[in-house]
Amino acid sequence: MNLENPTAGLLEGIVVLDLSMFVAGPFATMNLADMGADVLKIEPIGGDPVRSSGIGPQIRGESAQFQSYNRNKRSLCINLKSEPGRAVFLDLVRTADIVFDNFRPGVLERLEIDYDRLKETNPAIISVSLSAFGQDGPWATRPGYDIIVQALSGTMSLTGHDPTEPARIPLHLGDTVGGLYAALAMTSALTKRARSGLGSRVDISLLDCQLALLGDEVTHFGASGTAPGPYGAAYPYLAPYAAFQTADRPIVIAAVGVEKFFVNLASAIGRPDLADDPRFKGNRARTQHRKELEALLSEILASAPRQHWLDQLGSHDVPIAPVLDVGEAIQTPQALHRQMTQEIALRSGETAMLARSPIRTPGSAVHAVHEAPETGEHTRAVLAERLGYDEEAIESLLSSGAVA
């Protein structure tokens, strides 16, 4: 669906039936919608529960979170527990490319829309399921959310500051990483189908996705036999590679990679002797004496405000950055140049600020962002446009409660 996009989009013409709710699933399909796919959000009668969840501030009388992950989509309300509603859905399957869900295992079978039935309707259909623990295994039917998979994957054991309590990574990492892997799976399945003509059944687990991110941590555990713990903003195998408090606000320093960066840092802080100190000569020595080095740097950096050190260290070619809050981050010259946010006018008269897709096609305009659909906003249009239902048939479905 074009939605007045200035460019056709990488997935123009692809139709996705999105049965997902909450965060992980809608984030996955949002990425496809941002690339031009026609994502038909199939909501239960009453809509996605996130609309009325009360999470965070409200936009348009709904949770603002709904706007975050459901932009550029169209909404239909279908009662999949009714025979007429299921028949409508299967009619849509005949015209679609992908059916995506984030139900617990067994729900598709109970609704009689599992992959075997979908394949009978459309042999080329791609069916992708994203769940907390996957379609099999001893935990498969357990409920799971972002914080659950962050805890079970070991991710939360790496966050926070020892010896304080573990900290959840707040940007829905468990959900959004699963959504990215699901989006990758859907586009990969489309590539396979283009070559072979065959559909696919894909099973994505949020927990698997979190474990897959633990590249270094898994390899290092295998090599050392010791599970890593929390290091705050630092990294145990690089030094200095951490956050430091200045006289007013924090900065991060990454004087690693090549030895010249540490030499530059030592000169910039007025301690060129540190570059020849045996404790700090070479990254391996510095990591062995990391606490000593960080204490020394912390004392020096606390003597002047952040801007002084940004200027001083920057002029010496030291990799540094201020620790920005979200409001500052989206207003940096780089973020503005890349047009990473857009404030959109809603039909309600309100405005919403949304993050744009990071995917760019050089030479093309940045895709416009359109507000999330209202509940069932496109039910009539899609049934008429895609399925050819006449007004009498649509009214009959509406009055029976099969659609809304």
List residues with catalytic annotation.
175
Yes or no: say if 264 and 258 are a contact pair by the CB < 8 Å rule: no
Nearest to 29 by CA among 404, 332, 21: 21
Token digits for 324?
Answer: 């920005």
DSSP state of 304: S
Yes or no: say if 58 and 50 are a contact pair by the CB < 8 Å rule: no
Give phi and psi for 254, each to the nearest 5: -130, 65
Cβ contacts of residue 166 below 8 Å, gap of 6+? Answer: 151, 156, 157, 159, 160, 230
Residue keyed to tokens 């007025």: 270
Q: What is the 3 state secondary structure string of 256-285?
A: CCCHHHHHHHHHHCCCHHHHHCCCCCCHHH
Task: Indicate the SS3 state at residue 245.
Answer: strand
Q: Which amino acid is at 166?
A: P
Computed on alpha carbons and rounded to an integer, the radius of gyration of the chain in Å comes to 25
Give phi and psi for 186, each to the nearest 5: -65, -45
